[in-house]
A = this chain, B = another copy of it.
Amino acid sequence: MNFNSKLIKAQKNSLLCVGLDTDQAKLPIHLRKNKNGIILFNKAIINSTKDFVCAYKINLAFYESLGKEGWHILKQTLKAIPKNIITIGDGKRGDIGNTASQYAKSLFDDFGFDAVTVNPYMGYDSVEPFLNYKNKGIFLLAVTSNKGAYDFQFLKVGKLPLYKHVVKTSLKWNKNNNIGFVVGATKSSQLKELRKLAPKSPFLIPGVGAQGGNLRDAVKHGSTIKNNFAIINVSRSVLYASTGKDFAIAARKETIKLAVEILKYRM
């Protein structure tokens, strides 16, 4: 099944994505010194939130920084995610062709992610090896949620900001219809603009919660007319909803709270 079809099914119940940016130092105290702390934590978070999400986004940096062990933890985490839920490998890779192929192989063949995030700065041949995986989703960075987004992404190229060129140009590469875009929830008006420019592409929308993005705008401006396709990511506010033994229950409550809010905005 191709990515967009899988996404349509996964989004029947929810537009919410939980980002598993799990930080050892922020684990509940009773798990912090446990050798399997992160695996136990991730499994508990997945079990308590899986009925209310369409996707899990896994931030590779948090696993790479754990060394050899991180690879194992990542595999175990992926195993715990039900097959009907989208998995996104968030690594923002981007390199020359032969190197990009290695990254694609690792993320799609070895880890089996349904989708990845890719940095477009190096252009077409750095993205192509990912796009060649026809049934996988490729989210290109367009407007990111951080403050530094203004440094380069908003520079005017002719009449349009760079991020619009990224979207316009890359839509021409979309022969397998598997390109999506990362658009930060902290940039509402850009979200609205880009939804017009790419009316049918999935958007991965981070920045709600700890980063301060507006949930209403993410839903209203991020969705397509036909398929939703707004994947709204929250990480820290769910993962660390409580640092006590009730962390999974607290994460579940926070997820349901967000899911309810999202449903209201879809009325």
Contact = CB atoms under 8 A, between A and B. Distances in A.
Contact of A148 (B68, B125, B145): B125
Contacts of A105: 65
A178 interface: no
Contacts of A122: 92, 119, 141, 144, 146, 148-149, 153
A102 interface: yes
A158 interface: yes
Contacts of A147: 123-125
Given A67-B71, A156-B158, A61 B103 contact: yes
Interface in A177-234: 211
Nearest to A64: B106
A49 B72 CA distance: 34
- Choose among A21, A92, A125, A144 the residue with the greatest number of B CB atoms under 10 Å from its CB: A92
Contact of A64 (B61, B102, B162): B102
Contacts of A98: 21
A146 B156 CA distance: 24
Interface string A139-182: 00100111111111101111000100110010000000000000
- Choose among A102, A124, A211 the residue with the greatest number of B CB atoms under 10 Å from its CB: A102
Interface of A: 21, 23, 59, 61-62, 64-65, 67-68, 71-72, 92-100, 102-103, 105-106, 110, 119-127, 141, 144-153, 155-158, 162, 165-166, 169, 211
A68 B65 contact: no
A22 to B, nearest CB: 11
A120 B123 contact: no
Contacts of A65: 102-103, 105-106, 110
A145 B119 CA distance: 16
A158 B165 CA distance: 15
Of all A-B residue pairs in the complex, the 8 with the closest CB atoms, nearest first, are A123-B148, A123-B151, A61-B102, A65-B106, A125-B148, A68-B71, A65-B102, A155-B157
